[in-house]
């Protein structure tokens, strides 16, 4: 029982910290950009845009649907953790917290602002502008897939 409580606590702390990181740095970067700061090199540029859709601007202007999908996704992750807490490794819990924090960061902006603030643009490839929450989502999904594949020992 003590180990389960420790795992719930670990997930909660990781989630809270990562949500703080994404919201704090997004606010910091966007504030700087809105006050005239600019940055660009061969790899990336900082360009502020307001995204009313999801990744690649799909479902543009579907705020309510995206809020519902985000809440359902976070609830599903938490339900999975509750059901499997005794078998989930701390590494997997961290990446589930990162995934939830990325979803939660975008969810917060969607609710509070009506859009998601994107500002990182890759200059070496034609790719949509994204934010730190999007990085958290993508890195955690990749990590979770690798963990699953290594566990199955394909």
What pLDDT, on a 0 to 100 scale, did the predictor assign at position 153?
A: 59
Residues 6+ apart with CB under 8 A from 100: 15, 74, 77, 78
Whole-structure pTM value: 0.92
* pLDDT tens, position by position, 34-80: 999 999 999 999 999 999 988 766 778 789 999 999 999 999 999 99
* 28 has pLDDT over 60: yes
User: What Cα–Cα distance (Å) separates residue 117 from each residue in 47, 67, 123, 129?
Assistant: 10, 15, 19, 9
pLDDT at position 56, please? 67
| Nearest C-alpha neighbor of 123 from the set 44, 46, 47, 56 | 44
Active site residues: 118, 134
């Amino acid at each position: 029982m003590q180990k389960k409580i420790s795992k719930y606590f670990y997930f909660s702390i990781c989630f809270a910290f990562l949500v703080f990181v994404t919201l704090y740095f997004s606010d910091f970067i966007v504030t700087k950009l809105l006050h005239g700061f600019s940055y660009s090199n061969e790899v990336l540029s900082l360009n502020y845009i307001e995204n009313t859709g999801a990744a690649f601007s799909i479902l543009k202007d579907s705020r309510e649907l995206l809020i519902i999908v985000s809440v359902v996704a976070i609830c599903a992750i938490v339900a999975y953790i509750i059901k499997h807490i005794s078998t989930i490794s701390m590494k997997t819990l961290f990446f589930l917290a990162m995934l939830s924090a990325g979803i939660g960061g975008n969810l917060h902006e969607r609710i509070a602002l009506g859009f998601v603030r994107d500002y990182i643009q890759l200059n070496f490839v034609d790719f949509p502008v994204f934010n730190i929450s999007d990085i958290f989502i993508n890195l955690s999904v990749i990590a979770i897939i690798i963990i699953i594949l290594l566990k199955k020992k394909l």
